[in-house]
Structure 1
Amino acid sequence: MTTNTNLNKFDSKLVMAHMHVAFVSLFIGGLMGLLQTLVRAGTFTLPFGIGYYQILTVHGVILALVLTTFFIIGFQFSLMSKTVGMTDKQRDSAWFGFWIMLFGTVTTAVTILLGQANVLYTFYAPLKAFPTFYIGLALVVIGSWIGCFTNFRQLYVWKKKNKGEKSPLLAFMVVINMLLWFIATLGVAATVILQFIPWSLGMVDTINVLLSRTLFWYFGHPLVYFWLLPAYMAWYAIIPKIIGGKIFSDSLARLAFILFLMFSIPVGFHHQLTEPGIDPLWKFIQVVLTFMVIIPSLLTAFSMFATFEITGRKKGYTGLFGWLKGLPWKDVRFFAPMVGMIFFIPAGTGGIINASNQMNQVVHNTIWVTGHFHLTVGTTVILTFFGISYWLIPSLTGRKLTSKINTLGIIQTIVWTVGMTIMSGSMHIAGLLGAPRRSSYSTYGGTEQASEWISYQIAQAVGGSILFIGIILMVYIFIYMVWAAPKGVEEFPLAKVSENAEPTPMFLENWKLWIGITIALILFAYTIPVIDIIQHSPPGSPPFDIIIK
């Protein structure tokens, strides 16, 4: 890994452009989330004829797709620039992808805000949006593909110059995540371009609903790992440096990412366990593949706590848990991601429940699922992203992370923790009582069941209000770090591998092998079910039934 402290000004400007979009999205999406909780509790009526599903769609699309994609791609460009470098041509292609993504985002956002796309972020048919919603989403995906191939090219050029050497760990991780993203987004691109856009333009009268949902969830579950893997990058290769330690095992980290690549894509049917038209055998197979993803998650937990304990022991802390005292709890760069890691324990447990056929029947389509979603991306991922921001933004802007902002960041993390515990906890409980997801108070208010749910809906509004305070704090911190913090040099922390770690075997970088296995698993899990869906689709469900015939 290179030893320079900061990126050059051109790469910094590229990364910061992505960060600006991400934090604007955080504020807009967070405001929509606050309004949702207030409406759902029956304590607020939306003004100016704004509909509940309008703000629900904005909230989902802006936070789950726009914020995450821009932050991740920007963060990953910083890692690639730091470890393998970036040429002028690569930087130009990265900017090209950024502008396409931004144009697509604005196109989609305007369509939603005009009330022409109240279809939620899953945009399930038969809900139909104005064509510019789907066109905008397609452009976001296409722009991200340009980012993918830019990253691939960066590592390829580095490997040509450094033949026989293992690639830098973070560059390897970035390429794995972008491979996952590219393969996964082929599904959503197919359904948007070949199904939704022709349908919304009136070129065809019908749409194969089951096929569209299958193609969406082919993308929808690996999307979760596209969010998580950048957090894992920080956990594996940056947090050890912040705590004064070293990476426990380079080869274990690479193996975990390879397993995520292979087992995070062919698992979408576990989101469709209650849908007819899919053979139960294939649902069972994909549930089994889903549980395979637990293995790299446990590997990561083992690696991280091994790093924490070894570092604490080296600092002289003794006893069974004495090493915990050696962790820098007052450093927000560690504290925020660490809280995210802790939240991943209940989040992962909820994921196991969601993916289990029998237990899924209890919580399917209830607000439990929404609560789980907010524990994973809304807490584990976003708190790690906040933790990254505390050192990344100053290092890019040539400013310092001051003690006051560090303290405010710790307060922000605590506020977020309290708000999410209240909101997500009440969502989980209300879900067990049968409260539906994607629904407003006006949908079920006055029913007998609503009286059981209302106290939990009010708790969600309280938690959501606290979370919005956390968002305001984070946006203020971002603005301060960009424009008002004292000038200086902030470390771009990259950890070294422990000298006690076993050498990394070169077969872990056999890209043909791992990509080949990934494609084989996808073909195994999806080929027969998709052919079956198309062959048994209703008459006149274009265009895939025409292709198959």
Structure 2
Amino acid sequence: MTTITEKAKDLVKVDKRDGKLALAHIYVAFISLFIGGLCGLLQTLVRSGHFTLPWGIGYYQILTVHGVLLGLILTTYFIFGFQIAAVSRTAGTLTSKQRLLGWIGFWVMTVGVVMAATMVLLNEASVLYTFYAPLQAHWIFYLGLTFVIVGSWIGGAGQILKYIEWRKANPGKPSPLITFMVVINLALWIIASLGVATSVLFQLLPWSLGWVDKVDVLISRTLFWYFGHPLVYFWLLPAYMVWYVVIPKIIGGKIFSDSLARLSFVLFLLFSIPVGFHHQLTEPGISSFWKFLQVVLTLMVVIPSLLTAFSLFATFEIRGRMLGGKGIFGWLKKLPWNDARFVVPFIGMVAFIPAGAGGIINASHQMNQVIHNTIWVTGHFHLTVATSVLLTFFGAAYWLVPHLTGRVLTKEMNRLAIIQAIVWSVGMSIMSTAMHIVGLFGAPRRSDFSTYGGSAQAAEWIPYQLAQAIGGTILFIGIILALYIIANLLWFAPKGDEEFPIGEVSEHAEKTPMVFENWKIWLTICIVLILFAYTVPFIDMIQNAPPGSIGYKFW
């Protein structure tokens, strides 16, 4: 009877109407992967010194496409598609109003993407992923980015309303774990994106329209990095959702601790936002005290990261020993190494170890001086979002897409998915390692190196630039494999029922305290930390702003 009941739970399907909304987001995500990945390949080929872009295409044009499509569009669309499906699966089918908000948000975002992408393709917005002033884009680019952010708020509201509805219907009970995690991630996103929305609406957009003559560069960069660092955790937390909630079910185990998972997510919310200054450690105009304070707050995220590592590997070891694993590492051999749903995200988990170590270096005051604005930082980003996060997204897509389309992950596609992850890992190991090493030699980021000519310094970089091109080519092969698998799961795989795996909490875990559902506490602490970290520095920036950099002509 237990087996039948558990099987019935496994086959709980996401409502087709919610699945259609989730799939719409996933379509855009994988289209972005192809275009952005192609531009990434072209970048590495240009940096190798053996390739010239055709048809007058500029290096910074493809750099902008690569950064915006993969860093902002691919991630945001896949995350929203995954979160919509996860909320529908665990908190119940979305209401018509909630689903309508999701569709409105999707179309507002998509119109914004088309606007911004058009300007980049016309070479009117080659301002890179960070769109720093004094680089200026066409006003349509900035308006498009505004639409993307506002659309995400609208779509996120539908997911939050579902959580509120569930809480009202189940008073005194902790919400489904993955739904709680979704709301944490949306809270982080909304609070953080207020910074970049403020910069775009009140600085960059009026400036590009000619309403102001100039903008305060320090304020615009500060507002961007108020958003830019928590953006990393907006990428990462959905991967953590898969690691915490989905992987235990896939391996046949149980969630080690519901409370520990919720605590780690709350800590990420508190300590990921008020830390943008660690991206600005070399910039004048910010007191060293406030930089040091935010470095300390940055390093606080080590705590939830270690909690996550402990919880996950406890789950793995317990399950491995249940299957007969002996000795110190015997349990590791018992894990399902032939199941792509586990293997692909697991490789992402392992990659997060060197990625996290590199992040500590980036955030450390003195060590940051060595690698600041070098291609080391680019290598770090590729280990975090392009390996840990993206491999986890791939692993999730390999069961999520067939679940939503009413198909199954076949043995052939499962095998190919494992091959794809290995190809990706090889390519990324080559490219990212080369980036880290040549970054220590001082090679700059955001550069095609052409300005360094035949200097002795540039000559030292050539082998590493070639290695990046080789790694980038292998990575693009990995992208093609991933797209082939997704296309198969969308349209060609056999019809059937693929489970949406949701793990159960171990019976030995402590009862989850309801304090985690008290949003007044966590949002208040979050706002207090932000005000503490940013109020005085912003007052200093405004008081010392260059004449004419704040204010509108018609004022």
Distance 2:120 2:97 in 1: 35
Compute the displacement of 1:377 (Å): 0.2
Compute the displacement of 1:152 (Å): 1.4
Match for residue 427 of structure 1? Answer: 435
- Any conservation in 2 of the 1:97–1:144 contact (CA below 8 Å)? yes
- The 3-state SS of whatever aligns with 1:449 is helix
Compute the displacement of 1:46 (Å): 0.4
Q: 1:54 aligns with which of 61, 81, 94?
A: 61
Q: 1:412 aligns with which of 420, 437, 449?
A: 420
Give CA deviations for 1:147-199 in whole Å, capped at 9, x if unaligned: 22112111111111111111110010000000000000000000000000000
Query: Is residue 502 of structure 2 the alignment partner of residue 494 of structure 1?
Result: yes
- Any conservation in 2 of the 1:266–1:526 contact (CA below 8 Å)? yes
Query: Is residue 416 of structure 2 the alignment partner of residue 390 of structure 1?
Result: no
Query: Is residue 350 of structure 2 the alignment partner of residue 363 of structure 1?
Result: no
Compute the displacement of 1:544 (Å): 9.6
Q: 2:52 aligns with which of 45, 66, 71?
A: 45
Distance 1:184 1:543 in 2: 24
Distance 2:16 2:205 in 1: 40
Distance 1:239 1:546 in 2: 57
- Any conservation in 1 of the 2:125–2:137 contact (CA below 8 Å)? yes
- Any conservation in 1 of the 2:12–2:89 contact (CA below 8 Å)? no
Q: 1:480 aligns with which of 483, 488, 503?
A: 488
- Any conservation in 1 of the 2:376–2:435 contact (CA below 8 Å)? yes
Match for residue 227 of structure 1? Answer: 235
Distance 2:89 2:231 in 1: 25
Q: 2:82 aligns with which of 67, 75, 82?
A: 75
Query: Is residue 14 of structure 2 the alignment partner of residue 7 of structure 1?
Result: yes
- Any conservation in 2 of the 1:535–1:545 contact (CA below 8 Å)? no
- The 3-state SS of whatever aligns with 1:359 is helix
- The 3-state SS of whatever aligns with 1:481 is helix
After TM superposition, the structure 1 = structure 2 runs for residues 230-379 of structure 1, keeping only pairs within 5 Å, are 230-379=238-387
TM-score, normalised with respect to structure 2: 0.97
- Any conservation in 2 of the 1:242–1:493 contact (CA below 8 Å)? yes
Query: Is residue 116 of structure 2 the alignment partner of residue 108 of structure 1?
Result: yes
- Any conservation in 1 of the 2:276–2:294 contact (CA below 8 Å)? yes
Q: Work out the number of aligned pairs and report it.
A: 547
Letter in 2 for 1:446: G
Match for residue 35 of structure 1? Answer: 42
Compute the displacement of 1:313 (Å): 1.0
Please, which runs of 5 or more residues in structure 1 have no aligned partner? none
Letter in 2 for 1:491: E
Letter in 2 for 1:392: L
- Any conservation in 2 of the 1:363–1:432 contact (CA below 8 Å)? yes
- Any conservation in 1 of the 2:211–2:552 contact (CA below 8 Å)? no
Give CA deviations for 1:392-423 in whole Å, capped at 9, x if unaligned: 00000000100000000011000000000000
- The 3-state SS of whatever aligns with 1:207 is coil
- Any conservation in 2 of the 1:41–1:461 contact (CA below 8 Å)? yes
RMSD over aligned Cα atoms: 1.3
Distance 2:465 2:492 in 1: 39
Query: Is residue 129 of structure 2 the alignment partner of residue 144 of structure 1?
Result: no
- The 3-state SS of whatever aligns with 1:238 is helix
Distance 2:451 2:159 in 1: 46
Distance 2:520 2:155 in 1: 21
Compute the displacement of 1:442 (Å): 1.6
- Any conservation in 1 of the 2:101–2:157 contact (CA below 8 Å)? no
Compute the displacement of 1:332 (Å): 0.5
Letter in 2 for 1:453: W
After TM superposition, the structure 1 = structure 2 runs for residues 13-32 of structure 1, keeping only pairs within 5 Å, are 13-32=20-39
- Any conservation in 1 of the 2:230–2:273 contact (CA below 8 Å)? yes
Distance 1:242 1:546 in 2: 61
Distance 1:394 1:56 in 2: 33
Cα distance change, pair 545–186 in 1 and its aligned pair in 2 (3 A): farther
- Any conservation in 1 of the 2:212–2:553 contact (CA below 8 Å)? no
Q: 2:100 aligns with which of 52, 73, 92?
A: 92
Q: 1:186 aligns with which of 194, 199, 213?
A: 194
- Any conservation in 2 of the 1:148–1:179 contact (CA below 8 Å)? no
- Any conservation in 2 of the 1:169–1:254 contact (CA below 8 Å)? yes
- Any conservation in 1 of the 2:211–2:553 contact (CA below 8 Å)? no
Give CA deviations for 1:48-97 in whole Å, capped at 9, x if unaligned: 11000000000000000000000001100001101112111100110000
Percent sequence identity is: 67
Letter in 2 for 1:74: G
Match for residue 539 of structure 2? Answer: 531
Distance 1:544 1:382 in 2: 42
Choose 430-439 or 144-153, whichever is displaced more. Answer: 144-153
- The 3-state SS of whatever aligns with 2:456 is coil
Distance 2:553 2:239 in 1: 40
TM-score, normalised with respect to structure 1: 0.98
Match for residue 462 of structure 1? Answer: 470
- Any conservation in 2 of the 1:181–1:223 contact (CA below 8 Å)? yes
Match for residue 505 of structure 1? Answer: 513
Compute the displacement of 1:254 (Å): 0.2
- The 3-state SS of whatever aligns with 1:406 is helix
Letter in 1 for 2:337: W
Letter in 1 for 2:212: V
Please, which runs of 5 or more residues in structure 2 have no aligned partner? 1-5
* 4+ residue segments displaced more than 4 Å: 544-547
Letter in 1 for 2:82: F
Distance 1:179 1:440 in 2: 37
Give CA deviations for 1:490-516 in whole Å, capped at 9, x if unaligned: 011000000000111111211100000
Query: Is residue 474 of structure 2 the alignment partner of residue 451 of structure 1?
Result: no
Compute the displacement of 1:368 (Å): 0.2
Letter in 1 for 2:543: Q
Distance 2:294 2:551 in 1: 26
Q: 2:138 aligns with which of 110, 124, 130?
A: 130
Distance 2:322 2:293 in 1: 45
- The 3-state SS of whatever aligns with 2:191 is helix
- Any conservation in 2 of the 1:195–1:543 contact (CA below 8 Å)? no
Match for residue 3 of structure 2? Answer: none
Distance 1:188 1:401 in 2: 39
Cα distance change, pair 263–44 in 1 and its aligned pair in 2 (3 A): same
Compute the displacement of 1:146 (Å): 0.7
Distance 1:33 1:61 in 2: 11
Give CA deviations for 1:202-253 in whole Å, capped at 9, x if unaligned: 1110100000000000000000000000000000000000000000000000
